[in-house]
Amino acid sequence: MSEPIETIEGWYALHDIRTIDWAQWTKRSTAEQQRTLAAIASVVAGWDQSNQEQSGSFGMYQLIGHKGDLMFLNFRESTDQLLDIEWQFNRLGIDDLFKRSYSYYSVVELSKYLAQGDANPDSNAFLRRRLYPSLPKTHYLCFYPMNKRRQGNDNWYTQTRDQRRNLMKDHGIIGHKYHDTVTQIITGSQGLDDWEWGVTLYADDPLVFKKLIYEMRFDEASARFADFGPFYVGRRREITDLSLLLTQS
- Closest Cα partner for 212 from 230, 225, 199? 199
Residues belonging to the chain: 249
Q: Which one from 104, 144, 202, 232 is the annotated catalytic residue?
A: 144
- Closest Cα partner for 47 from 70, 22, 23? 70
What is the spatial distance between Cα 71 and Cα 247, in angstroms, rounded to a whole number? Answer: 18
- Enumerate the β-bridge partners of residue 203: 140
Tally: H helices and E strands in the chain: 8, 11
What is the spatial distance between Cα 135 and Cα 185, in angstroms, rounded to a whole number? Answer: 9
Task: Respond yes or no: is residue 178 known to be catalytic.
Answer: no
Task: Report the SS3 class of residue 55.
Answer: coil
User: 40-49, long-range: CB within 8 Å, 24+ apart, which pairs?
Assistant: 40/89, 40/92, 40/94, 40/98, 40/242, 41/239, 41/242, 43/88, 43/89, 43/92, 44/72, 44/239, 44/242, 45/239, 46/88, 47/72, 47/74, 47/85, 48/239
What is the spatial distance between Cα 72 and Cα 152, in angstroms, rounded to a whole number? Answer: 38
What is the spatial distance between Cα 245 and Cα 136, in angstroms, rounded to a whole number? Answer: 21
Q: Tell me if 194 sits within 8 A of 145, measured CB to CB.
A: yes
Catalytic positions are: 144
